[in-house]
Amino acid sequence: MGDVLVYVETSGGRVAPISFELLGAARTLAAGLGGEVEALLAGGGDLASQLGAADTVIQVEHPALSPYVPEAHVAVLAEAIRTRNPQVVLVGNTSVGIDLAAGAAAATGRPLVSYCLGLEADGGAVVARSQLYGGKITATTRTEVPAVFAVVAGSFPEAAGRSGGKGGRATMEPPTALSSLRTRFLSASEPGGEGVDITKAERLVSVGRGIGGPENLELAEELAKALGAEIGASRPVCDSGWLPKTRQVGKSGMTVKPKLYFAVGISGAPEHLEGMRDSELIVAINSDANAPIFKVAHYGTTCDLFDLLPALTERLKAKAG
Amino acid sequence: MSKVEPGRTKEEEHLEFEGMDISGHWNRMFEQRVIWEHDTSMLDKVTSLAGAESLGFCYQCGKCTPACPVDLVGDYSPRKIFRKTQTGIDLFTSPDLWLCTTCMNCLRVCPKEVNMISIMPAVREVAVAEGNVPPELQKAFENTFNHGNPLGEPARKRADWVADAGVPVTILPKEKRPVDVLFYVECYWSYHPRGKDAARALARTMVALGVDWGILGHEEKCSCDSQRLAGEKGLFEMIAEQNIATLGKYEFKRMVTSDPHAYNAFRNEYPKLGAEYPVQHYTQFLAPLMGSLPWKRKLDYKVTFHDPCYLGRHNGEYDAPREMIQQIPGLEFIEMFRCKENGYCCGGGGGGMWLDSFTANHTSERLSERRVKEAIETGAEMLVVCCPYEVSRFEDAVKSTGNEGKLLVRDVIELVDEALQ
Amino acid sequence: MHIAVVLKQVPDLVEELEIDSGGKDIDRSSVKMKLNEFDDHALEQAVLLKEASGAKVTVVAVAAAGIDQALYAAKARGADAALKVDAGGDLLDSRRAASAIAEAIKQLQPDLVLTGVQAADDLFGQTAPYLAAALGWPHVSVVSGVEVAGAKVKVHQEYAGGRMASLELDLPAVLGVQAAPKPPRYVPVSKLRQAMASGALETVSVAPADELSGVAVTALAKPETGRGAEMLAGSAAEVAEKIAALLGERRLVRA
């Protein structure tokens, strides 16, 4: 039986978008392998009703499963793999997925392929395309099932993962490990800060390391003002403290889909692209013609940003005035 | 004032005289007070370092202050550094440590030979060892260590500029043969777009002169003189050892280099490591040959010239670039007020090239911005330079001072090339 | 307290990566290796913990070309000891490397293992969770803040959207570090050279893990440039004009 098990990631009491992507991918894979789609919902309570794309939703409840603690969820995923014996396990390549995938793969002796952008059934195997080296290289692998795959967000359409399953339910006993965990949840924090929500912005001017330093942010801010845009940033800029984390775009920041996304001095590492590739119009400025950002941008230029930003700001002000 | 003798004073708890309160405790205010000791530990911390002893020679005459380029845009000079450390400022953690460009204008006028060129690197080395390095400078050190150049460009691409030179260039690792001149291209001419313009111009000029020359290509590494002055003597020595080994593989009669900092390193520092090469700055090499160039056109420019600190003050060469300018047909030359020995630093030396983001927070404007204003004041339309740090610094300064279109910046070799086309 | 930091080198992405003639690996002859950025942060975190509470820090790495310099640099940064793990192969994939390292960790018996959250080439999974599974220890990845308190460690885990959670683990544990509280400090070359002169690095041999059958890299390729951006060229003023025009066309600004 070529069953595909999807680990359903939740956050803030909702099903994370990546889970719908995985369910959609699972439906196609399961069809190719001659099996069904099972969704593992650990500590998710009534979220099961949203998992219509699964043929069976396997629920596990235990106080230790919520709030999220990695050790508990690895134990549950490993147990589910042992008892349900799926041929393919899909996990999101996210902060949570990084905690789980390798641990569960090692515990059950199955191969794991990470950073997957694409998956296809091929006889008794799965052919996966993964990105390595900051997105500079794509690796194609062929793995005989049973195996585990960690999938990068944004690789599959969410819509395909909302419905189409048989809607069955099952429960699984929580593994005994949950009563002797060595990890405890202490507290959670939502991003505070100025209350800016860049996910609601229609236009974003996003800065990367190429901006050079916090003293140059002014240039981007002037352009943003002229465009009526918000300011966003890549991870290194926020890690360096030049801008608050609430403005971070990417895998460990926000996912945005504005009408206009200006990427200024951003190289386009996969973790960043994940957060903005669905923007309607992407214009990228980077001195390196080979920067990966140009693969997702609609328009690009290697013009020096220190010249272009003020020139563009002037031009836009002139048009408006 | 006579010394107060405690045994012969009488102190009344309360005394009033003609309505005035002259109680005993007031007397203490009129006693002689001599400061017998003050804490010189911060100053000693500097002067006890090998190479930094001369800070203690300062007698506060102040001749250095008007000579120091940073004082014009901040509050700085060796005299001030002495006074500050004397009163307890810790130079090792002070921003003052990173503002000196080692331009040497202070040493030129100092009657006591307080030598900042020796003091600053010694103190910086200790600061770097303790982890106090401005991030931009740290990146330059790391890039130099990892890639052989402070820009962080791949070593493999160091000779890529040759492809568009329009003339063949001998890259010695590929075409090993003895040459007359080994040209040390250096990092900014190898990788920076404006530097590459100059490198190509030089290649065409060498061919026009029929010089037998070659370059080290991707085997060449930074001469690291500025990194040495910025506090990384270990890095300088390590890369120097590698450079010496590389140079040892090839046969050449002399070295010529684009970069006054490399010139300084090869002329004055490498001999200390046992490696001596006959070396010239390219202006010294080309000046006597200018007469034999087949000039094709006159260049109708009014130009002024900026003396690089490390060719001029540090190594005594002021004439060669001027001879070149005089012999390029058509140029009208105007001298800036602060020229030759009194030239005003562009801000790139001593690590300054990689401290702009730092100094921006401690100076009212950049030295290069100051200098381009001076250049424009001469009425010249073009500023001519001969150090690879300078073209980019001055072109940026032209823009940032709002003078775009008022002053062109060219390396002298670009003018030679232009007049040969 | 004894902290082990697991390091590895990855190709420096400043270089252009080429595929080798076999088509299944990158061309390693032209590639420059450098310490994995996240392992660098893990090392910095360990040294900060040492400075705060006097822990002993040992760096561990699989023996591979060029690893010696990284280990000496780690010692110059503040690590007390370095251990090379010889597992018979030069280019072990991340899973086999983790299994080899786990053997060495079992011999070292540290209280805490830190390593980078991920590396640019860990196609078959990240090191931290594999180490934890092999050692049977709890683990948390994507950590950006570590505090040790007796026999426990408190960490901050980052999630998407800027959310964070604070978790506590019983030692011994494994952490996958995303960022140290401070950027990795600079090590002057003079200190590195001193470290290199301090003697040979200790090596321990372990039996290599079997290759996991059934999974194989079939091809490496550079992503197709296919769609890509339409590049705009010209002076700043010209490009600004072009951008303003296309924004106007789409009614994103007043035309």
Residue appearing with tokens 């930091």: C5
- ipTM computed for the complex: 0.88
The bridge status of strand A125-132 relative to strand A112-122 is antiparallel
Predicted pLDDT at A146: 94
- The 3-state DSSP class for residue A77 equals helix
Residues of C in contact with A180 (CB under 8 A): none
Asked whether the bond before C172 is cis by omega within 30 degrees of 0, the reply is: yes
pLDDT at A321 over 70: no
What are C84-119's pLDDT values in tens digits?
999 887 678 899 999 999 999 999 999 999 999 999
What are C131-141's pLDDT values in tens digits?
999 999 999 99
Q: Do C188 and B125 touch (CB under 8 A)?
A: yes
CA atoms within 13 A on the CB side of B215: 25
d(CA C142, CA C126): 11
Predicted pLDDT at C16: 80
Confidence label for B26 from pLDDT (cuts 50, 70 and 90)? low
Predicted pLDDT at B128: 95
From first CA to last CA, the distance across chain B in angstroms is 82
pLDDT at B117 over 70: yes
d(CA C83, CA A204): 47
Predicted pLDDT at B305: 98
Question: Residues 6 or more apart from B317 whose CB is under 8 A from it?
Answer: B281, B283, B284, B311
d(CA C73, CA C191): 8
**A305-320 helix and C236-249 helix, angle to the nearest 10 degrees:** 50
Q: Do B357 and A213 touch (CB under 8 A)?
A: yes
pLDDT at A249 over 70: yes
Residues of A in contact with C244 (CB under 8 A): 312, 315-316, 319
Predicted pLDDT at C200: 86
| A292 contacts A134 by C-beta, under 8 angstroms | yes
Q: Which residue has the higher pLDDT, B216 or C150?
A: B216
Q: Which residue has the higher pLDDT, C158 or B73?
A: B73
Predicted pLDDT at A295: 86
Average of per-residue pLDDT across C9-20:
87
Interface test with B, best of A215, A288, A290, A305 (most B CBs within 10 A): A215
d(CA A103, CA C133): 6
Biggest alpha carbon distance in chain B? Answer: 104
Number of neighbours of residue B18 by Cβ within 10 angstroms: 5
Q: Which of A271-275, B197-201, B363-367 has the largest mean confidence?
A: B197-201
| B235 contacts B227 by C-beta, under 8 angstroms | yes
Question: Which DSSP letter does residue B300 get?
Answer: -
d(CA A211, CA A175): 50
CA neighbor of B289 nearest in space, from B413, B165, B421: B413
d(CA B89, CA A99): 49
Distance in Å, alpha carbon of B234 to nearest chain C alpha carbon: 4
Per 3-state DSSP, chain C is made up of helix, strand and coil in percentages (nearest 5) of 30, 30, 40
Confidence label for B135 from pLDDT (cuts 50, 70 and 90)? confident
The radius of gyration of chain C from alpha carbons, rounded to an integer in Å, stands at 22
> Which of the residue ranges A53-67, A259-273, B62-76 would you say has the lowest mean pLDDT?
A259-273
Residue B411: its H or E element: strand B408-411
Q: Do B234 and C34 touch (CB under 8 A)?
A: no
CA neighbor of A80 nearest in space, from A170, A150, A13, A14: A170
Q: Nearest chain A Cα to C171, which residue?
A: A182
Confidence label for C212 from pLDDT (cuts 50, 70 and 90)? confident
pLDDT at C49 over 90: yes
Q: Which residue has the higher pLDDT, A248 or C254?
A: A248
Confidence label for B29 from pLDDT (cuts 50, 70 and 90)? low
User: What's at B175, amino acid-wise?
Assistant: E
Confidence label for B235 from pLDDT (cuts 50, 70 and 90)? very high
Predicted pLDDT at A135: 77
Distance in Å, alpha carbon of C200 to nearest chain A alpha carbon: 32
> Which of the residue ranges B203-217, B384-398, C62-76, C233-247 would you say has the lowest mean pLDDT?
C233-247
pLDDT at B409 over 90: yes
From first CA to last CA, the distance across chain A in angstroms is 67
Distance in Å, alpha carbon of C13 to nearest chain B alpha carbon: 10
pLDDT at A237 over 80: yes
Average of per-residue pLDDT across C170-194:
93
Q: Which residue has the higher pLDDT, B3 or C76?
A: C76
Q: Do A186 and C159 touch (CB under 8 A)?
A: no
d(CA A130, CA C122): 11
| CB < 8 Å from A in window 381-400 of B | 399
Interface test with A, best of C32, C115, C142, C242 (most A CBs within 10 A): C142
pLDDT at B25 over 70: no
Average of per-residue pLDDT across A48-56:
93
Distance in Å, alpha carbon of B145 to nearest chain C alpha carbon: 8
Confidence label for B3 from pLDDT (cuts 50, 70 and 90)? confident
* Angle at the Cα of A209 from the Cα atoms of A204 and A215, rounded to 5 degrees: 85
Confidence label for B36 from pLDDT (cuts 50, 70 and 90)? low
d(CA C84, CA A251): 33
| C53 contacts C150 by C-beta, under 8 angstroms | no
| B345 contacts B309 by C-beta, under 8 angstroms | yes
Predicted pLDDT at B28: 58
Residue B221: its H or E element: none
Full DSSP string of A211-280: G-SGGGHHHHHHHHHHHT-EEEE-HHHHHTTSS-GGGBBSTTSB----SEEEEES----HHHHTTTTT-S
pLDDT at C208 over 80: no
| A157 contacts A142 by C-beta, under 8 angstroms | no
What are A54-103's pLDDT values in tens digits?
999 999 999 999 899 999 999 999 999 999 999 999 999 998 998 899 99
Distance in Å, alpha carbon of B124 to nearest chain C alpha carbon: 11
The radius of gyration of chain B from alpha carbons, rounded to an integer in Å, stands at 27
| B370 contacts B124 by C-beta, under 8 angstroms | no
Number of neighbours of residue B7 by Cβ within 10 angstroms: 4
Predicted pLDDT at C147: 94
Residue B219 burial (10 A CB sphere; 0-12, 13-18, 19+): buried
Question: Residues 6 or more apart from B61 whose CB is under 8 A from it?
Answer: B79, B111, B112
d(CA A100, CA B128): 41
pLDDT at B1 over 70: no
> Which of the residue ranges A76-85, B170-179, B325-334, C217-226 would you say has the lowest mean pLDDT?
C217-226
User: What's at A186, amino acid-wise?
Assistant: L
Q: What is the mean pLDDT of chain B?
A: 93
What are A121-169's pLDDT values in tens digits?
998 899 999 989 877 889 999 999 999 999 988 788 888 999 999 989 9
Question: Which DSSP letter does residue A155 get?
Answer: S
Predicted pLDDT at B177: 96
Residues of B in contact with A307 (CB under 8 A): 399
Residue B35: its H or E element: none
Predicted pLDDT at B419: 97
Average of per-residue pLDDT across B28-49:
76
| B65 contacts B71 by C-beta, under 8 angstroms | yes
Confidence label for A190 from pLDDT (cuts 50, 70 and 90)? confident
Of B138, B154, B238, which is closest to C189 when you measure between CB atoms? B238
- This prediction has a pTM of 0.84
Question: Which DSSP letter does residue B171 get?
Answer: B
Backbone angles phi, psi at B222, to 5 degrees: -50, 140
pLDDT at A2 over 80: no
| B384 contacts B121 by C-beta, under 8 angstroms | no
What are B148-172's pLDDT values in tens digits?
999 988 999 999 999 999 999 999 9
Of C133, C142, C253, which is closest to A227 when you measure between CB atoms? C253
pLDDT at B10 over 80: no
| B214 contacts B172 by C-beta, under 8 angstroms | yes
d(CA C53, CA B62): 48
Q: Which two tokens stand for residue A155?
A: 């690789």
